[in-house]
Chains A and B, each alone.
Chain A
């Protein structure tokens, strides 16, 4: 079974500082993908970044980077130069290969981390 663990229910960071949101995962599938989504107070789910299990380099998208440590089964999100607009709930999610899960493109989500950016 797949599992995503986010151990930080809430975090605070000062504007312009970097912040790391933790995510650990568990799966027996050799092929999987890791995603981060942002959910602002308005409720929509915004895709941020993706990392494949066979990708050699850590994924980056603008101010977002994913610190992927396969041996430790961690996929932490790093947000550089935090902005007030980064205040939101952040979800880590994992999709294992469709062949083994039979669930197609099912994403298994963590419980989320509420990030608050302060002046």
Chain B
């Protein structure tokens, strides 16, 4: 089954404790991206990757890091989480960076930073 898998789905952590949210897709997609969703703000892009070893900042990259060492994986790293990073996070992928293809989303990871 074609899918984007995120882990963990739910996480409560404390300020400053490094964490990683993993994202993996099995569709051989070149393009992957991270979004965060906050009430009243819709979804905002954090980072994206056009292909292996190619990453770039989105609209709200502060406080986050990413890496793309393999095509299928695109982890999101919070080196020192803060309460304002409490949010619902989505990983998404697409076959390419352009065209009419939709973004396929993971199920979301709800993060709470105390």
Contacts and interface: CB of A to CB of B under 8 A. Distances in A.
Interface residues of B, number: 29
Interface of B is mostly: strand
A44 B42 contact: no
A106 B100 contact: no
B101 A103 contact: no
Given A109-B44, A111-B42, A104 B107 contact: no
A112 B42 contact: yes
Q: Chain A: interface residue count, which band?
A: 20 to 34
A97 B98 contact: yes
A8 to B, nearest CB: 13
Given A43-B88, A111-B41, A105 B100 contact: no
Contacts of B74: none
21 contacts: A35-B102, A43-B107, A44-B105, A47-B103, A50-B100, A98-B97, A98-B98, A103-B48, A103-B56, A104-B50, A105-B31, A105-B33, A105-B94, A105-B96, A105-B103, A106-B33, A106-B45, A106-B58, A107-B45, A109-B44, A112-B42
Interface of B: 31, 33, 35, 40-45, 48, 50, 56, 58, 88, 90, 92, 94, 96-98, 100-105, 107-108, 110
